[in-house]
Homo-oligomer: A and B are copies of this chain.
Amino acid sequence: MRAPIGVFDSGLGGLTVLRALHERLPHEDLLYFGDTARVPYGTKGEKTVRAFARQDAGLLVARGVKMVVVACNTASAFALDHLCDVLPVPVLGVIEPGVRAALAATRGGTIGVIGTSGTIRSGRYQQGLAAAGLGPERIVAAECPLFVPLVEEGLGGHAMTRLAVAEYLRPVRDAHVDTLILGCTHYPLLSADIEAFLGSDVRLVDSAEALATAACGALAAAGALNDGDEPGRLSFILSDIPWKFAEIGARFLGKPIEGVESVGLDEMEAAGHALGGQA
């Protein structure tokens, strides 16, 4: 199928997922939507995140995508069930692939998960690990609310980031985790700081990689892969062009972002309404 795969995130962090998908599926067209007008989601309540995610996914569906990939951990935590109910195309979230990858990576020790306040307080990662049989003594979770702004400011490696890592990850280190799920699309950009603090024997599970693998498998299973030979096109839609867009975007995507379309509040509203039902 020639239709694009849709990917959405609260902002630009999901570009790490787009990048992983593009490497894994170089012949697929990918359409990215970043809700930069309302970013971040990670500090906000469940009802709000669900209402936003509905509009985000609705916009991608209106553009004819064949699958929706929820790159945002917070949106996956709070809205995935709802999106599966209301969308006419398959939907993939980031949490289940992340849990699977962590279970494959651990050497029988404790698994840690870090994320935004919303993601951690939702308990979804912890529930996923528990459902696989891990006892509560083998699961440790930590909110890292300053990591997103630190990454957006390009402060990987900075003294402030090292302080934040030490503060947030102390309980993770004290629990002697052998595997840590980076439960937010921004966090892979802090891998070096996290590794410096925890030691290089702790395996870091990048949810972007895990999600790309899952998307690839789901499309193949459904017979929906694009069988063309041309390189896949990347397209970008944002709800706001933020001040540091070019700089932040390139940091996540690994190259400059070109040809961005911006949408206004009106189109977002219409996309949510078009799905019908209530958030």
Contacts and interface: CB of A to CB of B under 8 A. Distances in A.
Given A38-B37, A240-B48, A153 B145 contact: yes
B240 A117 contact: no
A131 interface: no
Interface in A235-275: 239-244, 264-265, 269, 272
Nearest to A49: B240
A118 B244 CA distance: 10
Contacts of A164: 160
A22 interface: no
A278 B119 CA distance: 36
A121 interface: yes
A47 B264 CA distance: 9
- Count of identical protomers in the assembly: 2
A37 B43 contact: no
Nearest to A121: B243
A132 interface: no
A51 B243 contact: no
Contacts of A51: 264-265
Interface string A119-154: 001000000000000000000000001100110110
Contact of A36 (B44, B118, B150): B44
A117 B152 CA distance: 13
A150 B160 CA distance: 11
Contacts of A45: 240-243
A221 interface: no
Contacts of A163: 159-160, 163
A228 to B, nearest CB: 36
A265 B43 CA distance: 17
A150 B48 CA distance: 23
Contacts of A121: 243
Interface string A38-63: 10000111011001100000000000
A243 B43 contact: yes
Given A269-B269, A272-B265, A44 B160 contact: no
Which of A44, A47, A152, A241 has the most chain B CB atoms inside 10 A of its CB?
Answer: A44
15 contacts: A43-B152, A43-B244, A44-B240, A45-B241, A45-B242, A47-B264, A48-B239, A121-B243, A145-B149, A145-B153, A146-B150, A146-B160, A160-B160, A265-B269, A265-B272
Interface of A: 36-38, 43-45, 47-48, 51-52, 117-118, 121, 145-146, 149-150, 152-153, 159-160, 163-164, 239-244, 264-265, 269, 272
